Amino acid sequence: MNSLHLSLNLIKRMDNYPPGAAHDPNAPYNEVEVPEREFDVTISMSLSRTVQCYTNKYIPEVDEENGHLYVDTSDTPWSEVYGDNHKTIPELLEELKKYIQKDLDNLADDETKMDKAFHRRRLEFLLTECDEWTVDEEDYEGS
């Protein structure tokens, strides 16, 4: 009995740490979990895009010497021209929100509860990600 009792006491004292590492604060098994906290983060992105736009909002000029036609676009309202041909990022986000809300309203009844919950969470996440964007700068150039 004594040897069994001795063996149990020896096992209880063993901690399976490498020698000298049991109280090492840098060891991964001794790291303290830092709790998550919420922080406000501001992101600023500059995006650009070059696309074809069609307009008649220019002044045609003819070079009298060689007869070539030139266009004067110095007074062309490029933001208006772009808006007539394309959508801006804020406009695209508004469109995306409509599609997401429509998907949320029409989640398929044939989805399993878990799939439906995952799909709903993903759509709700995308919907909130479309909100609260601010246009800091807007610039249109044409040639």
The answer to whether the CB of 142 falls within 8 A of the CB of 81 is yes
pLDDT for residue 20 is more than 80: no
- SS3 call for 129: helix
Distance, in Å, from the CA atom of 72 to the CA atom of 143, rounded to the nearest integer, reads 9
pTM: 0.61
- Per-residue pLDDT tens over the stretch 63-78: 888 889 999 999 999 9
- SS3 call for 79: helix
pLDDT for residue 137 is more than 90: no
Average model confidence (pLDDT) for the chain? 83
DSSP 63: -
